[in-house]
Structure 1
Amino acid sequence: MTAEPNAHEYFDGLYKRSDDPWLLRDRWYERRKRALTLAALPDEHYRRVYEPGCANGEFTAELAGRCDALLAADLNPAAVELARRRVADLAHVQVEQRAMPDEWPEGEFDLIVVSEVAYYLSQDQLGRLALRLTSSLAQGGTIAACHWRRPIEGWPFTGDHVHAELRAEVALPLLSHYEDDDFMLDVWSSNMASVHQREAR
């Protein structure tokens, strides 16, 4: 019987070796993925945003330009410190150490972005994540999920599994979907208006 992977030990090991374990700053793949995720968000600006699993804050810094207030969080203390440094000049951004989905923040959010993190959860945690996402989303708000599709050594799930579970459990219309050989991006919202329609209102 294979032991369940330990997320704390896994991420501690990654951040002991590098302050950018996934080369988020340098790889075109990562920069392109962030650009596509930002472009898929149907509203130009959001009031309150939550980004669990923020890693070293590269996406956090870009997402900050699209909102009034941003709460970013990560399980790993080294990642939290790196993200805080990355957004130190952005007064409307707060970075906290939180485990997803159990240490979920209070209140409602107009946008929640779950990127490259949900396949580190158990099946039970995935189900609780879907409930958290829908219960804390403000009316008309947006949920975006983006994940790597290929296997991750030592972990049972891929992005395909994560997105299949979220599509089954998130009780909101799927607004848009993108996939290529590497990653999958889904956006849900209770507001089904197109970008053009949103601007025309």
Structure 2
Amino acid sequence: MKNKKDQNEPELMLPECACSFCGFTEEETLEIHAVRDVLIILRDKMTALELINAIHALSEIASGLTVDLAKACGICNHCGDEGPELCKGINECDESCASLHGCDDGPVEWVANCSLCHDLLDESQNIHIPDYILEAAGIPKGTKLEAYADGGNGEITVVEAERQSGITDVPPSILAILAQSGVCLAELDELIMQEAIIYGS
């Protein structure tokens, strides 16, 4: 099989058993989609059913990865805030239990009512400094910033954040799905900042 690529790029060798399982033949030309942290190999020409099978497979993989991420973060439990105690098992909660513990709302409300998770979704919490000031300070555009107050003298100091990865790097569509599922966004932010391995052995 041939790779659809520039002539200067190296040949990509694929395991024969994997190609056989996928139904790829030596006569076919394959398309490589390379994006950050992902490499996808598809036929460069597909029938409607082949395209549907590709969509279905990618959707299943995406769903599985989302479940892995949600398990690592856990369900929001108000992140230590004093608030209504949530049931440990959503499936075990009946109407009387929900009324007793104040958890008769859904996952969206769990995240919305958590001050830490809510602040992470609040755009007003982000620090915005004009580009010309960043340039004068020698801070590259797009750098994450943090601020702290210098006592009670009315001054605020803004500096380059020690950690440049955080929840703001998560695409809004993914963040919305996680928030609507009750996933703890504060824990997600912590996992991202720690660069913790949460997938694989």
Give the structure with the larger strand fraction.
1
Larger Rg: 2
Per the normalisation by structure 2, the TM-score is 0.22
Give the structure with the larger helix fraction.
2
Larger relative contact order (CA 8 Å, sep ≥ 6): 2
Per the normalisation by structure 1, the TM-score is 0.22
